[in-house]
Amino acid sequence: MATLIAPITFSPGADAEDLHKAFKGWGTDEKTVIAILGHRNVYQRQQIRKIYEEIYQEELLKRLESELTGDFERSVYRWMLEPADRDAVLANVAIKSGSKGYHVIVEIACVLSSEELLAARRAYHNRYKRSLEEDVATHTSGDLRQLLVGLVTSYRYGGDEINARLAKTEADILHSSIKEKKGNHEEAIRILTTRSKTQLLATFNRYRDDHGTSITKKLLDDASDDFRKALHTAIRCTNDHKKYYEKVLRNAMKKVGTDEDALTRVVVSRAEKDLRNIAEIYYKRNSVHLEDAVAKEISGDYKKFILTLLGKDV
């Protein structure tokens, strides 16, 4: 379930006019920016962008970039992008971050549907004049390159069919591959980058039944290099992406200093999808409401905007 609260009827022209007024004079009226953009769904936001440009002959995104600053500007900018374009931007930022960003590439490739991933790759072409897989391959090597390129170029079957015998065979292959730290990981990469999500879930369940521990637990114990960490993330995102996102949020707020980039990424990309479910998992795990945890960690207009996307107006 989504946390975004958007009106059923709205006037993109009136919103564009109110935003233009918010930018006039000394300083920006951030309250109006949050009140409008924090309550519009993806279709409504694209309509506002279109009308704004038609009326004022300037791109709304560029105006927002010049009017806002810091984490507030970054979160509003990413929120205003179409989902595929946002994923392209997130992927590019992750690639430039090196090993610190590989998990974001895996996240995008494993959480999105096949059609959504294809749309993100097209958006990447349009924005950066290169392919996503080209940039991933340029910045990685060895098993990690094979895994990441395989994930971002995958077009998985989306059906519910399961081959139980195959699940058993491939659970054993994964077990052998993980056990041998310096072994040949080609088969593990093949399984994770080609099988449907439903088939992979059956394989992970069979792994737990046959080997007495979850595949993620085994990998976590041995997550000593970038490849194994990426493998762990791929399995977690495929297994239960909501639990994965809960952990991303928890980690973003439990360190000294908040990881605003991770917090923004999850809130902005899931607010129209399943952020309410993720927030419920967060509460069960931490006995603190997500919006209360967020409110303690961040401040200013950034805090007001993120809380608005969480469905809590301030």
Would 7 be classed as within a structural domain?
A: no
Write down the pTM of the prediction.
0.95
Number of domains, the chain: 3
Would 173 be classed as within a structural domain?
A: yes
- Per-residue pLDDT tens over the stretch 102-143: 999 999 999 999 999 999 999 999 999 999 999 999 999 999
88 is in an annotated binding site: no
Which CATH number fits the domain that encloses residue 175?
Answer: 1.10.220.10
212 is in an annotated binding site: no
Beta carbons within 8 Å of 152's beta carbon, 6+ residues apart? 91, 105, 108, 109, 117, 121, 132, 133, 136
Are residues 186 and 248 both part of a single domain? no
Are residues 226 and 191 both part of a single domain? yes
Are residues 31 and 126 both part of a single domain? no
Work out the number of other CB atoms within 10 angstroms of the CB of residue 236.
24
Domain final position from 190, 215, 239: 239
38 is in an annotated binding site: no
98 is in an annotated binding site: no
255 is in an annotated binding site: yes
150 is in an annotated binding site: no
Are residues 111 and 184 both part of a single domain? yes
Domain range spanning residue 267? Answer: 241-310
Residue 128: C-alpha distances to residues 14, 61, 91, 208, 233 (Å): 33, 17, 11, 42, 26
Are residues 291 and 198 both part of a single domain? no
Are residues 32 and 131 both part of a single domain? no
**Mean of the per-residue pLDDT values of the chain:** 94
Residue 177: C-alpha distances to residues 67, 69, 98, 189 (Å): 52, 47, 25, 10
- Per-residue pLDDT tens over the stretch 281-298: 999 999 999 999 999 999
Are residues 234 and 89 both part of a single domain? yes
67 is in an annotated binding site: yes
- Per-residue pLDDT tens over the stretch 196-253: 999 999 999 999 999 998 988 877 766 568 998 999 999 999 999 999 999 999 999 9
218 is in an annotated binding site: no
Domain final position from 222, 239, 256: 239
